[in-house]
Chain A
Amino acid sequence: MVISSFSFGFASMARLGLIAIAAVISVLCPMRSALAHASGQSFVMLLPTGVYTVTGVIVVGLTIVLLAATPPGGLSRLIKPRALFSMPRSRRVIRFIHALAGVGFFFLIMRGVQGSTDPLRNPLPLGFWVVFWMALVMVEGLLFSVWSWLNPWVFAYHLMRRTTRWQVKRDWPRRWGAWPAVITLFAFAGFTLADPAPNDPLHLARVIMGYWLFTLTGMLLFGFRTWSRHVEVFSLFFAWFGRLRMLSVKQRQLCLGLPGWQIFQLKTPAQANTGLSSAIFVLMMLGVGSFDGFNETFFWLGWINVNPLDFPGRSAIIFQTLGGLLLANLLLVAVFGMLIWLGHLAASDTAYLHHRLADLIRAYAPSLLPIALAYHIAHYLPSLLVDGQYVLLMMDGLMGSDVHLLGLGGFHVTDGFFKHQDTVRIIWLTQAGCVVTGHVLSVLLAHHIAGGFYHNRWETMISQMPLAFFMVAYTWLGLWLLASPKGG
């Protein structure tokens, strides 16, 4: 009875939800990777993407020009947050949710081991890749914090410490910084892009469980916070994207500001609030996101001598993918470092005496976060729109195939929005809008950061010219990636 009334209540809601999703889909339809037959990308290739790209690049360029004309302090006022109201905080509620997250985590692992072998019917791959990795990263960056609630180590860590009275005894070597996190980010990106079967439920369960144990061990040895800040990839990933939210709670006050205001909360921009390793981590967030997209283009596939129309499968290009991933990140760090150093030299012939390159990278790296988040959204939106339907179906059938918790009996997953030019155009423009907005925000943040290094408008403007070139070029790259024919 409970189930039937529950499902009745949800049936109408779910159908309404599906109608809403269909409406959203019809507006936001992006493209999945190229298929053997005509796909969404086929329709993209009929669009005047060249015109759209030039327009996007001009928008970013105009932002740079406008900033040059903005009076000093104007941007600071924009970025400064405003406190709205105080937020209640209940430790009991938080503990309960952490316990729930821990139980949910093990439920997913169990389903990965024992559930359906079909990745689009198993809660683990759907939960991890679609809900967590695709959707919740977006939620964290745009709406509200989710990682602090769903972190699957909090409950286990505190439970183990209390039951065993374990004391953390080791100090984190300062020279290690967050370099281990750089390695774990590369490892995770490698798993995402190069592993032949990252969706396989059992394989995924083993990998996640292995990482969970590795992390819990590290936390018990070095402490929860220390490990989270120096090694654990998701804590850092979500923490950095979380700093882009317009709304956030600081000292129990809900505050509102321009995306990125949280980056500047702790210290002055010039001092930066991060070590070099953390800055490299941030650059890699963008590097990984950029390569995950570039690696599907005809350009890349041609470069590694793969016929995109006869893609041999991920197994055949594991080393090429890992090599490309590494190169893309090295290239990004090198080019970014070189350009901000050039700008710094051009702005002041004495300033370089006071600031090392590492200081500049540390300060400027967070300015790229909006682009990284924009790439994440633009890249995963297509998959989310299709695979999100599988998530709904999975949830609908959690109680068995005969019980439809969400009233979705007879519902069929669709990708019809990839098959019509009108919807494809709207989707592409939505993705492009995301990319351009990300770059505009990055330009604003970089300009604000520069304001902390230089004390007159002229020097600030000169220092930003190489970086402006970078932003414009990266806008072009992002839009080119969206418009390019893809395979693989």
Chain B
Amino acid sequence: MTNQPKKILTPRRQVIKGIAAGAALGATSIPLWGRYAQSQSSEPIKIGFQVHRTGIGAAYGRWYDRTTMAAVAKINSEGGINGRQVEIVSEDDGTDPKRGAEVVEKFATQHNTDLAFGTLFSHVVYGSAPRAGELKIPYFVVSEGHHVASGALNRYTMQPGITDVKSQVQAMAPYVASTLGKKVTMIYPDFAFGHDHRDYFSAAIEREGGTVVEKIAIPPTETSFTKYFPKIPRDTEVIYHVMVGPAVLTFVKEMGEFFGSSRPEIFGFIDSLEAVDLSSPGLEFLEGTYFWEGNPRYAQANQSEYDKAYRAAVGVDNNGASVSDSKDVATYAHMFGCWETLHIVKAGMEASGYRGTGDRAKLIEAVEAMTDMPHSHAHPQGAKRFNGKTHQVFGHQYITRVSNGRLELAHTTSIEDTLYPDETDYTTQSF
């Protein structure tokens, strides 16, 4: 959180030169340009918000919506983007990949939005991104999926506001190995989500001199876990769990009953308990265990002024719950991505002198040119480093420990911990 960047939103020089030249040409050599520019400037920037209003992502969607609206209110109150107000055009994708592609198409052809934004669930991203590429509409996702950085998508798809799962998982390994233990048993759901964790973490912990002593894959439809716990080897020093779905509280309860008071260290991803109050009955067993958090749910002792302002804007209290209902815990570890992405869109549009949909390529180039982003009101989660080639941002990760029913910050990773070699270079693709 305290790392300061070396550069601040540095677009490539040629982009700026091109924009400056274009602006000069437009202002002086074409008589009607001024009128056109005037009419453009009076129209709002339209951002298509692909939101999970229904389907399995609906609970996340509600908080993504709330964060998005708060970010837009802030941006508009500060003068908008290039002097134009921002308008959000929301479309429900039903957390459905096929519907997601249709929504992107609506943004491009019906609503004529300047870009599409906001998708969380990675299978929806995967289903929608090809259509965004075909229709040449910038598609800013807030998904955590590794799809973007893997090179599986296209030049129009970017993830500049939230880190991807590969970097998150590998950044956990140094702390786990040095502080919690080197012999790890992984418990994960037996499908792609769990497999990503298994593969990324296994490789990362071995680089730290540790080993995964057992990999316990749980069938997705499993609702009782007692038969799996005896498979945990006795020499296990750390359990790494990343269970999701309706049986997750049962998993925690049964794990507590299995170990009793004597247990190894336990580390999990907050995805399991996102939006769940940790003081809920049955979760006492989690006391003293560790979690990855994309953004600490509870306001920490070293809370930044940016986090404070961000919480106030979205309406989240110091416990990570809605200011209007202390039981309504936010999806705090993820939703900051909407806030930060919209600020990057603003920065990209301002850097590229964005005027309208004809400048979409310029916007993408401007974002591709970004590198370091400082911890600021635009980036309340922490400093970031964007990789223009892979269209993926990297940033600090947080490890918190459950203490008296709160998640207290135990460790902040460096950005370097999250980096991995480029797997693609989207800038080589033409528009």
Contact = CB atoms under 8 A, between A and B. Distances in A.
A412 interface: yes
A259 to B, nearest CB: 33
Contacts of B226: none
Interface string B121-137: 10110000000000000
B191 interface: yes
Interface string A82-95: 00000000000000
A38 B272 contact: yes
Given A313-B55, A420-B327, A421-B282, A38 B98 contact: no
A3 to B, nearest CB: 23
Contact of B280 (A22, A116, A421, A485): A421
A423 B327 CA distance: 10
A115 to B, nearest CB: 12
Contacts of A118: 51, 53, 65, 90-92
A201 to B, nearest CB: 9
Given A42-B248, A313-B94, A413 B62 contact: yes
Contact of A411 (B100, B193, B280, B324): B324
Interface string A299-324: 00110000111111111100000000
Contact of A415 (B62, B91, B250): B62
Interface in A418-440: 419-421, 423
Given A32-B58, A36-B56, A487-B245, A313 B280 contact: no
A310 B271 CA distance: 14
A485 B247 contact: yes
A35 B58 contact: yes
Contacts of A485: 221, 223, 245-247
A423 B325 CA distance: 14
Contacts of B60: 35-37
Interface in A184-200: 196-197, 199-200
A22 B98 CA distance: 37
Contacts of B53: 118-120, 199
Interface residues of A, number: 54
Interface string B55-71: 11111101001100000
A251 to B, nearest CB: 45
B377 interface: no
B220 A313 contact: no
A121 interface: yes
A416 B246 contact: no
Given A36-B60, A42-B250, A118-B90, A416 B123 contact: no
A238 interface: no
A45 interface: yes
Interface string A41-78: 11111100000000000000000000000000000000
Contacts of A423: 327
What secondary structure prevails in chain A residues at the interface with B?
A: loop
A307 B55 contact: no
B7 interface: no
B99 to A, nearest CB: 5
Given A411-B324, A420-B280, A315 B246 contact: no
Nearest to A41: B246
B43 interface: no
A419 B56 contact: no
Given A308-B220, A485-B245, A412 B66 contact: yes
Nearest to A311: B56
Contact of A417 (B59, B91, B275, B327): B327
Interface stretch (B30-38, B315-323, B368-376): B315-323
Nearest to B90: A118
A414 B249 contact: no
A396 to B, nearest CB: 14
B361 interface: no
B96 A37 contact: no
B59 A35 contact: yes
B88 to A, nearest CB: 9
B249 A196 contact: no
B425 interface: no
Interface string A118-129: 111100000000
B328 A313 contact: no
A313 B281 CA distance: 32
Contact of A196 (B96, B121, B189, B324): B96
A21 to B, nearest CB: 12
A383 B277 CA distance: 21
Interface in B117-175: 121, 123-124
A486 interface: yes
Contacts of A117: 89-91, 106, 111
Q: Which residue of A42, A298, A312 has the most chain B CB atoms within 10 A of its CB atom?
A: A42
B427 interface: no
Contacts of A197: 92, 94, 99, 102
Contacts of B414: none
B216 to A, nearest CB: 16
A418 to B, nearest CB: 8
Nearest to B271: A37
B327 A414 contact: yes
A420 B279 CA distance: 9
B357 interface: no
A488 interface: yes
Nearest to A120: B53
A37 B244 contact: yes
Given A32-B58, A35-B59, A118-B92, A420 B248 contact: no
Contacts of A309: 189, 191, 193, 220, 244-245
Given A36-B56, A37-B271, A313-B99, A412 B322 contact: yes
B55 A314 contact: yes
Contacts of B250: 42, 45-46
Contact of A37 (B123, B275, B324): B275
A38 B220 contact: no
Contacts of A34: 56, 245-246
A340 B196 CA distance: 54
Given A311-B55, A421-B282, A45 B247 contact: yes
Nearest to B96: A313
Contacts of B244: 36-37, 309
Interface in B73-128: 89-92, 94-100, 102, 106, 111, 121, 123-124
B180 interface: no
Interface of A: 22, 32-39, 41-46, 116-121, 196-197, 199-200, 298, 301-302, 307-316, 410-417, 419-421, 423, 485-488
13 contacts: A33-B56, A37-B244, A45-B247, A46-B250, A117-B111, A118-B51, A119-B54, A307-B221, A312-B96, A315-B96, A412-B328, A415-B62, A487-B56
Given A42-B248, A45-B249, A421-B281, 6 more contacts: A37-B275, A199-B94, A310-B192, A313-B98, A416-B325, A419-B328
Closest 10 CB pairs of A and B: A313-B96, A416-B327, A416-B328, A315-B98, A118-B90, A414-B325, A41-B246, A34-B246, A414-B328, A42-B249
Interface of B: 51, 53-60, 62, 65-66, 89-92, 94-100, 102, 106, 111, 121, 123-124, 189, 191-193, 220-221, 223, 244-250, 253, 271-277, 280-282, 315, 321-329, 331
